[in-house]
Amino acid sequence: MEYLSSLMLFAIGTVAGILNVMAGGGSALTLPALIFLGLDSALANGTNRVAILVQNIFAILSFRQQKLHEFETSLKLALWTIPGGIIGAIVAIKIDEQWFERILAVVLIAVVLSMIFTPEKRTIPLVGNGKARKWLVYPAMLGIGFYGGFIQVGVGFLLMAALFHLVRCHLVVVNMHKVFIVFIYTVPALGIFIWSGNVDWVLGLSLAAGNAFGGWWAAQLSVKKGEKMIRFVLLLALLIIALKLLNIF
């Protein structure tokens, strides 16, 4: 049974890794899967962070292999998410997250609309200059860090929206920054879940193997296929998850 559970989590993790790196929402697949296997919500939330951490390490390495990285800029953005991520993780081990689902659905729909009504052709270089409304991105990172530490589901969408509109990066570069930022705040968040005993290492590492595999190849596809593919995957994932959270199907 444990063998079958590990195989199932590897498969789900692969799909989730692709979604997380190219768009977001992979945790909407992995968290229910972990709960289905008998974990309570706090334990599932913590176990999922093992996969998120490993996935983003592999995605960062994949982007770096393709010579697409701005570690200094990524780190400046990521540092702002750490306080929020720590507070969010503390809240997550004390409060049930179900009340947040409808708010999340509204957020996702808002991001869908913002992406649909933003022109595709932009005079933005592949490596963003980081000047457009730059200061606004820092308080946004603080809030996103809290949300990511708390529930994680859909945090990729929020990061993409913030980086796309405030830093005004090409979507390929948005994804490159996103995986680094999530990796940074996940380190202390995972530490809190480990400290509170809310990590199942066997299931977490099985899921992590799939997430890492999917995340690596998603980073490769992001660079090779470019912004159009990212936009398509992003919009599709957002719509499906928003409709699910609203219990439309």
Cβ-proximal residues to 12 (8 Å cutoff; 6+ apart), any chain = 29, 30, 33, 207, 210
Find the angle CA(184)-CA(126)-CA(178) to the nearest 5 degrees: 20
Q: Check residue 130 and give its pLDDT.
A: 43
| The two structure tokens encoding residue 4 | 């079958």
Determine the pLDDT at residue 115: 55
**23 vs 16: CA distance, rounded Å:** 10
> Is this structure's pTM higher than 0.85?
no
pLDDT in the model for residue 173: 87
Identity of the residue numbered 179: V
Q: Looking at residue 233, what is its pLDDT?
A: 67
Residues 37, 159: Cα–Cα separation, whole Å: 29
Domain range for residue 22? 2-245
pLDDT (tens, 9 = 90+) of the chain, 249 residues, equals: 577 888 999 998 998 888 888 877 788 778 878 888 888 878 988 999 999 999 999 999 999 988 888 899 999 999 999 999 999 999 888 876 566 556 656 665 665 665 566 544 443 344 444 444 577 889 999 999 999 998 887 788 889 888 888 887 777 888 899 999 999 999 999 999 999 999 999 999 999 999 999 999 888 877 776 656 666 766 666 666 666 656 665
For the chain, the domain total comes to: 1
Q: CB of 226 within 8 A of CB of 19?
A: no
